[in-house]
């Protein structure tokens, strides 16, 4: 049974929806998407993907433009902080730009955080779209401005051919709709790059229940870089956490995921306000199995909150687009997992 304290927190959540559920005018043909590189910059070997992504978005009626420094890369395939900030700020200043999309994920997007002009960003609201390393920017933008951001495909990912329709539909749904959206799992996914698509497993209910709250998170190995910084969201309202991780740790991926998750649960307010958990789909190369995830959840002692695993986000393809800072609900009624983006 829900406590009085929890019901009061839910009431506060909805009273504040003008602040935390703030979204954007519905996207329309002719609107401009600016591509910037806060993480990995332009790679000549990926030009075909960029061209396909451009044609795809332009075929839907949108205009695509690129940051002027997007091709400037240094030793770690990333531009200087100054160059990345220039493109980032230009995208917010330009009133013709309606959404910003990260070229790639990668490393070191967190290096730009201290240099962001937060007043400029808050005064020119528009969504940033991306995943992986871009997780730090999505959550920091929400923490600093109260504006919803979109955990979804990076620009280069849209140029990936396999099972693209599912990813594109999810992205377009969130950009063009202000109605409640019920998310559904993909039917196929790319288990091995370049191989035939595999049948997708149903989303896995690990703990039963229902919850409504603000969605936070993304790539766990990146999200925890915000700990101890002013850019970390405060966990002071009902929170549903979406977490996934990549295969960078190799055979230790499951252990890294467990200790990063444990670290997250120790943050002020997290245990008190966490009311639901979504775990993304892991790459086969991570060697993270469903028994691993089940055991990690069990050892975390999450109480009676709903937990759903193998959801379509993370470092596999295709993927959902999810609203960081947006209101969502999850339910496991009749052991059937449901995941809704609530009307803003």
Which positions are catalytic? 132, 244, 315
Which element (helix H / strand E) includes 204?
A: strand 204-207
State the pairing for strand pair 274-281/239-244: parallel
Question: In 3-state terms, what secondary structure has residue 13?
Answer: helix
Closest to 242 (Cα-Cα) out of 174, 330, 175: 330
Compute how many other C-beta atoms are within 10 angstroms of the C-beta atom of residue 249.
17
Task: Return the sign of the alpha-carbon dihedral for residues 98, 315, 271, 336.
Answer: positive
Q: Distance between CA atoms of 243 and 322, rounded to whole angstroms?
A: 12
Beta carbons within 8 Å of 56's beta carbon, 6+ residues apart: 158, 159, 164, 168
With 0-12 CB in 10 A as exposed, 13-18 as middle and 19+ as buried, what is 293? buried
Identify whether the C-beta of residue 214 lies closer than 8 Å to the C-beta of residue 128: no
Quickly list DSSP for 123-173.
HS---EEE-GGGHHHHHHHHHHH-B-EEE---HHHHT--TTHHHHHHHHHH
Identify whether the C-beta of residue 324 lies closer than 8 Å to the C-beta of residue 21: no
First to last CA, the chain: 27
Half-sphere exposure of 78 (CA within 13 A, CB side): 20
> Using alpha carbons only, what angle is made at residue 121 by residues 116 and 124, rounded to the nearest 5 degrees?
160
The stretches of the chain forming alpha helices (DSSP H) are 4-15, 17-20, 47-59, 81-93, 118-123, 135-145, 155-158, 164-176, 220-223, 253-265, 270-273, 290-300
């Amino acid at each position: 049974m829900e406590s009085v304290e929890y019901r009061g927190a839910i009431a506060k959540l909805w009273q504040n929806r003008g602040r935390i559920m703030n979204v954007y005018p519905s996207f329309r043909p002719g609107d401009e998407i600016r591509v910037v590189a806060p993480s990995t910059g332009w790679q000549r070997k990926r030009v075909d993907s960029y061209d396909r992504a451009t044609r795809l978005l332009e075929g839907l009626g949108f205009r695509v433009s690129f940051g002027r420094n997007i091709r400037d890369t240094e030793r770690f395939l990333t531009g200087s902080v100054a160059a990345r900030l220039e493109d980032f700020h230009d995208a917010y200043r330009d009133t013709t730009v309606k959404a910003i999309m990260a070229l790639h994920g990668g490393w070191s997007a967190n290096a730009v955080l201290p240099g962001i002009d937060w007043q400029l960003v808050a005064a020119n609201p528009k969504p940033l779209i991306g995943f992986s390393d871009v997780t730090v920017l999505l959550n920091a933008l929400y923490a600093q401005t109260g504006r919803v951001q979109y955990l979804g495909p990076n620009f280069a990912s849209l140029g990936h051919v396999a099972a693209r329709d599912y990813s594109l539909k999810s992205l377009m749904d969130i950009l063009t709709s202000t109605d409640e959206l019920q998310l559904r799992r993909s039917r196929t996914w790319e288990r091995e790059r370049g191989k035939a698509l595999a049948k997708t497993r149903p989303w896995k209910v690990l703990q039963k229940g229902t919850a409504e709250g603000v969605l936070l998170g993304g790539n766990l190995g990146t999200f925890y870089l915000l700990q101890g910084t002013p850019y970390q969201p405060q966990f002071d309202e009902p929170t549903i956490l979406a977490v996934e991780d990549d295969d960078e740790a190799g055979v230790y991926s499951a252990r890294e995921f467990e200790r990063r998750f444990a670290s997250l649960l120790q943050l002020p307010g997290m245990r008190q306000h966490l009311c639901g958990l979504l775990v993304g789909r892991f790459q086969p190369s991570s060697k993270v199995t469903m028994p691993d995830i089940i055991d990690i959840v069990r050892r975390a002692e999450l109480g009676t909150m709903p937990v759903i695993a193998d959801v379509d986000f993370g470092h596999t393809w295709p993927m959902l687009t999810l609203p960081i800072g947006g209101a969502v609900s999850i339910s496991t009624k009749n052991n059937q997992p449901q995941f809704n983006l609530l009307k803003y």
